Amino acid sequence: MVPILLTIGFQPMLIIPVTQAHLDGHAIITRTYDIYKQSGILINNELFGQEEKRAAPDKNNPDNMGCIVVGVPGKLFTYFPEGKTKLDSDALTELIENLSHYRDNPGYWPQA
């Protein structure tokens, strides 16, 4: 899947769906999303250009803010903070609302 670009508060973010799978030609939406702030330190291709980077996020990356796992869509989300910067409760709520809206509306899904 293609990275999701969002702005939470005033912070631009890159949300990376952890897996990409296809069933009968249809994309299967993932349950895990890695969260990175966009600080200008890294170019998008450095994060997304290599398949192994998608499968194993760089936990030492200063832009890494952790990951969100969707337990029950629209109801249960678990945030695993990682890195130096963590999401506060307001930013986390806004991010979950954006991800839920994104997951519920396949028309917004970028095509790889």
pLDDT digits (tens, 9 = 90+) for 9-35: 888 998 888 765 566 666 566 788 999
45 band by pLDDT with thresholds 50, 70 and 90 = very low
Banded model confidence at residue 90, pLDDT cuts 50, 70, 90: very high
Neighbouring-strand partners of residue 70? 77
Whether the Cβ atoms of residue 5 and residue 88 lie closer than 8 Å to each other:
no
With 0.85 as the threshold, say if the pTM is over it.
no
Residues whose CB is less than 8 angstroms from the CB of residue 19 and which lie 6 or more positions away in sequence, other chains included: 1, 28, 30, 32
